[in-house]
Chains A and B, each alone.
Chain A
């Protein structure tokens, strides 16, 4: 409760400072809209549906692309961890491409897929897949070998060993890898949406872009706030429960409640 009050107070002060800055009149209201104007925009855009529609388009792309990235990356990471040849080839490729900012895939995606959903998905998948491969590979390689030995003596082999021992044992690595993949996917999608207009759907990135074109700064800031909120909620809803589970089971970071 005390933590909540402090957090709320912090944001109230933040908005108050922002409001004061606008009221001081040093900056043009066109460049720096007041928090009230931004809230106004968010409110009306929520009611007329533009914000909901755009968020839906963006989240759909993100979820499908991310899911595909995980479905491709997870088995590939498991494979590279089992074979030295695959590690030296696919693993090296993944390591290299993971360092490539995923926005760099956008030009290629446009040439290959045109201004379509396919291009968006491609960028999101490229943002996700490499870090998932690397995290999975790392995770399975870093399992204490004693787990696998203990499991083998109890008769756990093959598929059973992978699903009941290797995967759960590497869960801490997997979750942080998934989280990183998610962060990359989210950033690359936003960049792609701002960069290109996709005729089949208007995402949050487009809304942001048109806000700038129309010089509607309250729209730009409003959409930014929505993007931040979505990212924050995804972290809270998708990853925090897993991390709490891991902390409880593994006994790491006990003070996190």
Chain B
């Protein structure tokens, strides 16, 4: 099988280079090949979506990029440097909010900032205020985590991930648990924030429309073993509306390919 093109066309330098990464797990004595020789390059400032059925290793790949999981073989380079552990250059926004309930919204945003010794306290407060305002929650600064709605929690989580100014933002199905209306609003927000900050974003999802709406490229992964099946480019102008018919065309193609990976996976098993 010819391996699909894995580099982003354009003049942007590579931010992340994923090189022949493999990873397997053995839960309950059955070997699961989560990732099998996956290679991928993410350009600086790119919004890349990873999509695939459950078990295709997309979350594992994200963990490996974050440095939270070590690959069995292969390596990940961030800015040309080998990723050997987690670092605040690559912050993760998780599926569940993962906000700390013992801190209020502001305290959560401050958490990562306090770990940056290069900032003064005054700067930290300024940055935290800025990002809470950016996600529209300046009025909920001192709200406890449980007092926030699901969408607000993920906004705080986004502010918390953005505040320490990481170069790469890794998002692991951050909107999966939210209702459709809240999600649509967050698509607008995340696109606006991305266009302003031009961070490199790797976004894991199992929602085809979401991937087509947000990604410059959509990387489709197939399960058992986890591999890259196909890469789609989505050259639509931004900001994109998730309900636009143009976008639906791309989503349709990706969805058709996604079904293909499921059939293929079923045959090879």
Taking CB atoms and an 8 Å cut-off, the chain B residues in 151-174 that contact chain A are 160, 164
Contact partners of A250 in chain B: CB under 8 A: 101-102, 146
Residue-wise interface mask of B (107-118) relative to A, using a CB-CB cutoff of 8 A (1 in contact, 0 not): 000011001100
A250 to B146, CA, bound (A): 6
State which of B88, B144, B160 has its C-beta within 8 Å of the C-beta of A248: B144
Within 8 Å of chain A (Cβ to Cβ): is B147? yes
B101:A249 contact, CB within 8 angstroms: yes
B112:A249 contact, CB within 8 angstroms: no
Taking CB atoms and an 8 Å cut-off, the chain A residues in 94-146 that contact chain B are 144, 146
Name which of B92-100, B133-141, B197-205 contacts chain A: B92-100
Question: A154-B115, A155-B112, A248-B144 are known contacts. Are A149 and B101 too (CB-CB below 8 A)?
Answer: no
A149:B100 contact, CB within 8 angstroms: no
Shortest A212–chain B CB gap in Å is 48
B115:A146 contact, CB within 8 angstroms: no
State which of B90, B100, B103, B146 has its C-beta within 8 Å of the C-beta of A153: B90
Name which of A47-55, A163-171, A186-194, A226-234 contacts chain B: A163-171
Within 8 Å of chain A (Cβ to Cβ): is B87? yes
> How many residues belonging to B are interface residues under a CB distance threshold of 8 Å?
26
Contact partners of A249 in chain B: CB under 8 A: 101-102, 144-146
State which of B86, B91, B102, B116 has its C-beta within 8 Å of the C-beta of A168: B102
Listed residue (A152, A154, A169, A249) with the most chain B CB atoms within 10 angstroms of its CB: A154
Question: A169-B102, A250-B146, A251-B146 are known contacts. Are A153 and B91 too (CB-CB below 8 A)?
Answer: yes
Residue-wise interface mask of A (222-257) relative to B, using a CB-CB cutoff of 8 A (1 in contact, 0 not): 000000000000000000000000001111000000
A137 to B196, CA, bound (A): 45
Within 8 Å of chain B (Cβ to Cβ): is A160? yes
Contact partners of B86 in chain A: CB under 8 A: 152-153, 155
A154:B164 contact, CB within 8 angstroms: yes
A168:B96 contact, CB within 8 angstroms: no
Closest residue on chain B to residue A254 by CB atoms: B146
Within 8 Å of chain B (Cβ to Cβ): is A15? no
A155:B98 contact, CB within 8 angstroms: no
State which of A152, A155, A171, A248 has its C-beta within 8 Å of the C-beta of B68: A152
Shortest B84–chain A CB gap in Å is 13
Within 8 Å of chain A (Cβ to Cβ): is B76? no
Within 8 Å of chain A (Cβ to Cβ): is B66? yes
Contact partners of B91 in chain A: CB under 8 A: 153-154
A154:B88 contact, CB within 8 angstroms: yes
Contacts A147-B100, A155-B112 known; list 17 others, CB within 8 Å: A149-B68, A150-B94, A153-B67, A153-B90, A153-B91, A153-B92, A154-B164, A156-B111, A164-B111, A168-B100, A168-B102, A169-B102, A171-B102, A249-B102, A249-B144, A249-B145, A249-B146
What is the interface of chain A, defined by CB distance below 8 A to chain B? Answer: 144, 146-147, 149-156, 160, 164-165, 168-169, 171, 248-251
